[in-house]
Amino acid sequence: MCDCVLQIRGMTKVFSGVKALDSVSFDLKAGEVHALMGENGAGKSTFIKVITGVYQPDGGVIILNGRQVQINNPKDAQKFGIAAIYQHVTCYPDLTVTENIFMDHLEVSPKTGRILWKRMHAKAADLLRHLSSEIDPKTLMSELSVAQQQIIEIAKAISTHANIIIMDEPTAALTKNESEDLYKITDQLRNSGASIIFISHRFEDFHRVADRVTILRDSQYIGTWGVNEISEEELIVAMVGREIKQMFPPKTAVAREEILRVKGLTKTGYFSDVSITVKRGEIVALTGLVGAGRTEICETLFGIMKPDKGEVYFENKKIRIVDPNTSMKLGIGYLPEDRQVQGLIMNWSIQKNITVSRLEMFSNRGWLRPDLERSKAEELASMVNVKAKSVNAPALSLSGGNQQKVIVAKLLLADLKLIILDEPTKGIDVGAKYAIYEIMDNLAAQGYGILMVSSELPEVLGMADRIVVIRRGRVSKTFSRRDATPEKVLEAAMPIETAALCQE
């Protein structure tokens, strides 16, 4: 009765006693783009992994083209015509594009088993041309940008003749233009008859490509709507399960004297001639496209990278950037973008994570004093309101928002004056974001200077006193809170290819 290619009924998956999927149902029609939305931890990734055979469900049925099937492993999924493009591109960085596309189904001569390289290179070139990409199939995967790698993954899906294609947050790491290209490719795939499950956080993706949307919350199926049947507000309510009235806390901090002045900072290949100032009590946002050089600017100020040119004045004194240790001693702290790799030691306790950057505070001539360490860690953890039973809980047992709070606590310990926050709310639940914003505002009110990198326009407009837009490694424009509008900021962030062409 239904023209569904894929039907899922009562899908359940349990991990060590916790339900990651609780009797979830889902329908995918032929030739539709079906958005799958939900907060982090709602069960989207698990759902995908069950469909692609990475996990085995503990209950429920999968019906493919009207036939009930079992998908025991990724190879099975491939046979059924299901292909997934994962959030973190899974590729072979040391191998060529052709091999990355064809690794699961290398073409060999039927008689000798010899790999037919020429044919595969030609086919790969064909596929890529079809996706309007000019990547040379003999390029190494590691030499490509994230967007290009994603195109390779799509080519790979097409090459296996997949008719169900799953895209797991494909636009998360893409710039605006790259996202546009991806939308086009998605449309093209749909028109050629493929069904697409599109997982995303961004409403823009949803409006631009999806036909229908299904929402998961707390591992459960909430509902499915046509794109035009539901408003953004209703979507949020469905995802969060409550209404979020206020996105940003009221501003209480007042800007005071200048604390940081950067003049003409340059790092070859990353950014050039960057000048920024930050005052005490002020929140300055660095925004722009991913890859414009924002993170690199911050990492340079913190001492991870060394600048090639330029001057940095901190509290009106010229400073030399040496390493993170020196920067922290001066009073510059950095909350890195990747919590799990750069921010935390995941299998360490909250306490050890908080104290690791300033151990000398808890020691007597190098000897650790566990009692001091514990009381200080507890004090800081409760200050930022980390939700955990004790500071002995390992960092990996915390949710993203709480992990972020632990990193903030770690920074607070270090007696800082300037805090650099790199995408502080990336991958955090809507509810937990508010808590982070409150902390930020609170810190500014206490007199910290705050430099925030963010790609989320609402966050930038809602939190920052001043907005510095970076485009291709240079400051393209600076706005005050009053002057900034989404349109103006976006315009300043977009690359001006045409202008550049005219100059040449």
Partner 1 sequence: MPKRKELITGRKSFSFKRFFLQWEWLLVLAFIAVNIFDAAISPYFLDMNNILSSTMNFLDNAFIVLPMVFVIMLGEIDISVGSTVALSAVVMGVFYDKFHTPMWLAVLICLAVGALCGLFNGMIIVKFKEIAPMIVTLSTMTMYRGIAQIIIRDQSGGNFAPWFKFLSWGYLGSIPFILVVFAVAAVIFGLLLHKTNFGRRVYAIGNNEIASLYSGIQIGRIKLIIYTLTGFMSGVAALFLSSRMGSTRSDMATGYELNAIAMVVLGGVNIMGGRGRMIGAIIAVFIIGFLKYGLGLINMSSQVVLIVIGLLLAVSVALPNIKKSGGKQRKTEEA
Partner 2 sequence: MGKRTKNLGRFQRDWSRQVGLTLFIIAVSVAVDIRNPRFFSVVNLSDMISNTAILSILAIGMMIVIITAGIDLSIASTMALSGMVTALTVQANRGLSPMLALLIGLAVGVLCGGVISVFVVRFSVAPIIATLGFMNAYRGLTYLVSHSNWVGPGQMSNGFMMIARGKILGINNLVIIAMLLYLLAFYFLNYTRFGRQIYAVGSNAESAKVSGINTNHVLFTVYVIMGAFAGLAGVLWVSKFASAQGDTALGYEMNVIAACVLGGVSLRGGSGKLSGVLLGSLLLGILNDALPLIDVSPFWQSAIQGAIILVAVISNVFFKRRVEYKTLARRNI
Rg for the chain, CA atoms, rounded: 25
Residue with tokens 């893409």: 174
Burial of 142 (0-12, 13-18, 19+ CB in 10 A): exposed
Q: Which does 16 bind (CB under 5 to 8 A by kind): partner 2, partner 1, none?
A: partner 1
Nearest to partner 2 of 94, 360 (CB atom): 94
Residue 75 partner contact from partner 1, partner 2, none using kind-dependent CB cut-offs of 5 to 8 Å: partner 2
Pick out residues in 283-342 that bind partner 2 (CB under 8 A).
Answer: 293
Contact between 218 and partner 1 by CB under 8 A: the answer reads yes
Site residues (CB under 8 A) for partner 1, limited to 51-70: 54-55
Contacted by 393, from partner 2, partner 1, none: CB < 5 to 8 Å by type: partner 1
Minimal distance in Å, beta carbon 333 to partner 2? 27
Phi, psi of 21, rounded to the nearest 5 degrees: -135, 130
Among 30-38, 61-69, 263-271, 486-494, the segment contacting partner 2 (CB under 8 A): 263-271
Examine residue 7 and tell whether it contacts partner 1 (CB under 8 A).
Answer: no
Q: Quick count: other Cβ atoms within 10 Å of Cβ 21? A: 28
Evaluated on CA atoms 152, 156, 162, 167, the torsion sign reads negative
| Closest to 63 in 3D by CA, of 129, 109, 8, 138 | 8
Rule CB under 8 A: is residue 346 a binding residue for partner 1? yes
Min CB(380)–partner 1 separation in Å: 15
Rounded Cα gap, residues 213 and 501, in angstroms: 41
Q: How far is Cα 408 from Cα 334, in angstroms, rounded to an integer?
A: 9
Q: For strands 164-168 and 4-15, give the pairing.
A: unpaired
Residue from the set 26, 334, 434, 448 that interacts with partner 1 by CB under 8 A: 334
| 371 part of the interface to partner 1, by CB under 8 A | no
Nearer to partner 2, 96 or 200 (CB): 96
For 49, residues 6+ apart whose C-beta sits below 8 A from its C-beta are: 55
Minimum gap (Å) between residue 297 Cβ and partner 1 = 16
- Other CB atoms within 10 A of residue 396 CB: 12
Contact positions with partner 2 (CB under 8 A) in 272-291:
272
Among residues 358, 474, 477, 488, which is the contact residue for partner 2, using CB under 8 A? Answer: 474
Residues 81-110, one symbol each (x = binds partner 2 by CB under 8 A, - = not), give ---------xxxxxx---x---xx-x-x--
Query: Which residue has tokens 């990278």?
Result: 305
Stretch that binds partner 1, among 69-77, 162-170, 254-262, 341-349 (CB under 8 A): 341-349
414 binds partner 1 (CB under 8 A): yes
147 closest CA partner among 170, 123, 121 = 170
Select from 110, 113, 250, 366 the one that contacts partner 1 (CB under 8 A).
366
| Contact region with partner 2 (CB under 8 A), list: 18-26, 131-139, 207-215, 394-402 | 131-139
Spatial distance between the Cα atoms of 156 and 165, rounded to a whole number of angstroms: 11
Q: Which stretch binds partner 1 (CB under 8 A): 226-234, 239-247, 321-329, 464-472?
A: 321-329
CA distance 381 to 390: 9
Phi, psi of 450 (to 5 degrees): -125, 125
SS (H, E, C) 152-177: HHHHHHHHCCCCEEEEECCCCCCCHH
Please give the size of the binding site for partner 2, defined by CB under 8 A.
34
Binding piece for partner 1, criterion CB under 8 A, among 1-9, 23-31, 116-124, 391-399 = 391-399
Q: Three-class SS string for 465-487?
A: CEEEEEECCEEEEEEECCCCCHH
Q: Which residues bind partner 2 (CB under 8 A)?
A: 54, 73-75, 78, 90-95, 99, 103-104, 106, 108, 113-115, 117, 136, 138-140, 268-272, 293, 472-474, 500
